[in-house]
Every structure is written in C-alpha cells, then in structure tokens.
C-alpha cells in the first residue's frame, strides 16, 4: 500500500517501520501498566524489555532461516544479511520467551509472574505491526475472487502478483490479534494462577495461525508444524493449570518444563522412518558423456550410449535430446526438517544438426 517512504526533513520514513514502532510503543505501555500492578519496578521492566526484544529478533531470524534453508545453500554469509528481510513471528515469540526466562532466572524473579503482563503487550504490539505488513505488501495472501480481496499496484511492493486481488492476510492477522488481545484482557480479570495468560495466548494464536496460514501465498508446512506443536503444549498446560493436582508442575525447575516441551515437540513433529528406493530414467555415466565428440558423434551413437531420451524436441537447427536420471536411497526421518537419506540427479542435453550430428552438449550432476 505504502512501499515508498515518506520524506520528512530529508529523512525517509517507511510506513512499515512506523507501524512496528507504534506497536512496540503501545505494547510496552500496556505491558508495563499491568506489570506495575504487581509491584515491578520500571528499571527492571526496561531491562527485561530490551532482553526480550533482542532475543525475539534473534529467534525470528533463526526460524526464518530454518524454514528457508534452500535459499542459503551455498551462500552461508546470506544468513547474516538481516537487512534483506526475513523474520518469522513464531520465532520472535519463542526467542522472546527464552530470553525472558533466562533474564528472570538471573535476576531471581518469577518468570511466570511477569509473563502474563508481557504477553498482553506483545499481542497488541504484534497486531499493530501487521498493519506495517499491509503497507509493505509482505505476508500477502493467495489470489481470490472474494469481494474483500486487495490488489497491490506499486512496482516495489513485496506482494505478487501485482494488479491481482489477493487475500488480505495481513488484515486477517491484525483482526485475529486484536480479538485475542481483548479475550486475554477478559481472562486477566478472572485468572487464578500465574501463566494462564501466556498459555491462553499460545493456544489462541496457534489456532488462528493454523487457519490463516491456509490463505498465505507463501504457505510453509514448517510454520503449520510449529502451530500444531504449540496448540498441543498449550492445551496440556492449560488443563494442568485448571486442575489443582497439576499446579505443582509449575513449581518444577524450568529445565524440566523445557525438556517436556522439547519431548512433545519432537514427538509431534516426527513422522515415520522411511526407506527410500526410487530410481527414474536411464543412468547417465560420466565416462559415456566424455565419449561424445562434437561434430563427430551421431544421433544413433547417442541412443546407443544413453537409450531413449526423456524428452525430444525438434528445433530450427535440428533436434534437442534431454536425458534425466534421478536416484534416492537410504533411511530418512520426516521431522520439522526432513533429515537423512540421499539423492542424486543427472541431466544431459544434446543438440543435433539436421544431419543428426552432435553440435553441442551439456551435462550436470547434483
């Protein structure tokens, strides 16, 4: 909507940054107001906010990298190019929680006591930040024929395709966030134990993200898995909070709770152990490729070496033969990111003139 910055006194101001800054400011005000009711000093809260924001940004970046590993293959330094974009709100949430836990542990302060007011501010801040996504065109949705679809026309907008009605997923996330915020305010008035707001938020957020993610153009199963895991964990924790006999679990050392979360996450994320044995096409031996001589080798000799081509195309100059061979094997675990197994792909392109003689060829193995 507003991809170009507004220039004030010679300083470019991007609307995305304006909404994010506004979200941080209002979120901080709400969180500190609630925390002050618990007797939390402003000095302590400012330091907590700084730790939470920094660890949240790191977490948001890490999760983005994990969900886009293909983009960073062969270029490790791109991981640190955060100015090129690449943050995931789930990662920011989890990173912020981890940072807050360690800070509170170091300051000998109850994390569960401070978690609820911080979450209230976080929800409001993230919701307002979604308007920044709308301004920049990021987090855009799939094409739609619904009457409330939004088309982006500016050439520098992050949304694609331009001039096409898309699901306004940024608005969906904004409305969902505000709805969750007001629900949590109602829960805050009736809560019976520390941590209830935190787990209620994780439950509601995971439900909304799992649903809204279906309309995102950049649909990623990795994000859905995180939502499912958080849904399971938050449901279990809320059940425990609401039952007196389970409340003692909240008094256990934080490492035990963390271990529980990791075990549940791994269990939920794992699929079955697969044995991959797939082979397609005729094998393309590098030695045979080296036997090809431009201007000498004929079509008949190519067919004798490699068999029928995967694809055949007539060209103005003659013919184009395309060969592809793929093979996978080994054991593979289906985790959040599938690991194990192995694969190889070989491709060969051969160009022939009208007399059926090789003019050029290209071989690649990956």
Given this model, what pLDDT does residue 306 score?
85
Given this model, what pLDDT does residue 248 score?
55
Buried b vs exposed e over 323-334: b needs ≥16 C-beta within 10 Å? bbbebeeeebee
SS3 97: helix
Residue closest to 114 by CA, chosen among 127, 94, 97, 91: 97
d(Cα 204, Cα 93) in Å, to the nearest integer? Answer: 14
- Read off the tokens for 351: 């160009």
Given this model, what pLDDT does residue 183 score?
92
- pLDDT of 353 higher than 60: yes
- Read off the tokens for 336: 């959040």
The CB density around residue 193, as the number of other CB atoms within 10 Å, is: 13
- pLDDT of 54 higher than 80: yes
**Residues in the chain, how many?**
366
- pLDDT of 185 higher than 50: yes
Higher pLDDT among residues 254 and 173, named by residue: 173
Higher pLDDT among residues 303 and 255, named by residue: 303
- pLDDT of 70 higher than 70: no
d(Cα 214, Cα 342) in Å, to the nearest integer? Answer: 31
Given this model, what pLDDT does residue 328 score?
73
Helix then strand count (H, E) for the chain reads 11, 7
Which of 77-91, 142-156, 216-230 tops mean pLDDT?
142-156
Domains contained in the chain, CATH given: 6-269 (no CATH), 273-365 (3.30.1450)
DSSP annotation string for 237-276: HHHHHHSGGGGGGGGS-HHHHHHHHHHHHHHHH---EEEE
Given this model, what pLDDT does residue 11 score?
63
Crossing angle of the two packed helices 42-67 and 221-242, in degrees rounded to 10? 140
Given this model, what pLDDT does residue 83 score?
44
Question: What is the mean pLDDT of the segment spanning 260-279?
Answer: 54
Q: ω before 359 within 30° of 0 (cis)?
A: no
Burial of 127 (0-12, 13-18, 19+ CB in 10 A): buried
Question: What is the mean pLDDT of the segment spanning 187-194?
Answer: 80
- pLDDT of 329 higher than 70: no
Given this model, what pLDDT does residue 164 score?
86
Share of the chain above pLDDT 90, in %: 7
Read off the pTM.
0.62
Which of 54-58, 110-114, 203-207 tops mean pLDDT?
203-207
């Amino acid at each position: 909507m507003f991809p170009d910055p507004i220039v004030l006194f010679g300083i470019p101001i991007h609307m995305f940054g304006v909404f994010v800054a506004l979200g941080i400011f209002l979120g901080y005000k709400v969180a500190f107001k609630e925390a002050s009711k618990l007797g939390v000093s402003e000095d302590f809260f400012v330091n907590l906010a700084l730790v939470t924001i920094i660890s949240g940004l790191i977490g948001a970046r890490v999760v983005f990298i994990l969900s886009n590993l293909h983009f960073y293959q062969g270029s490790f330094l791109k991981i640190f190019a955060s100015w090129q974009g690449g943050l995931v709100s789930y990662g920011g949430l989890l990173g912020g929680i981890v940072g807050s836990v360690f800070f509170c542990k170091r300051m000998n302060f109850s994390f569960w006591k401070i978690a609820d007011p911080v979450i209230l501010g976080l929800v409001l801040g993230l919701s307002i930040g979604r308007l920044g996504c709308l301004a920049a065109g990021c987090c855009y949705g799939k094409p739609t024929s619904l009457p409330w679809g939004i088309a982006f026309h500016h050439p520098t907008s992050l949304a694609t395709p331009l001039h096409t009605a898309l699901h306004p997923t940024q608005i969906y996330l904004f409305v969902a966030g505000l709805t969750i915020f007001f629900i949590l305010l109602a829960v805050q008035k009736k809560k019976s134990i520390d941590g209830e707001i935190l787990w209620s938020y994780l439950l509601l957020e995971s439900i909304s993200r799992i649903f809204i993610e279906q309309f995102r153009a950049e649909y990623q199963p990795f994000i859905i898995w995180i939502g499912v895991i958080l849904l399971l964990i938050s449901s279990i924790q809320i059940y425990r909070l609401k039952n007196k006999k389970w409340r003692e679990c909240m008094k256990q050392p934080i490492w035990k709770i963390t271990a529980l979360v990791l075990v549940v996450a791994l269990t939920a994320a794992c699929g079955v152990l697969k044995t991959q044995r797939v082979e397609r096409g005729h094998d393309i031996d590098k030695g045979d490729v080296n036997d090809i001589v431009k201007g000498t080798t004929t079509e008949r000799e190519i067919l004798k070496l490699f068999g029928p081509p995967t694809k055949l195309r007539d060209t103005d100059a003659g013919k184009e033969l395309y060969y592809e061979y793929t093979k996978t094997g080994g054991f593979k675990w289906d985790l959040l990111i599938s690991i194990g197994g192995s694969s190889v792909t070989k491709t060969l392109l051969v160009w022939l003139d009208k007399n059926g003689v090789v003019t050029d060829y290209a071989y690649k193995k990956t």
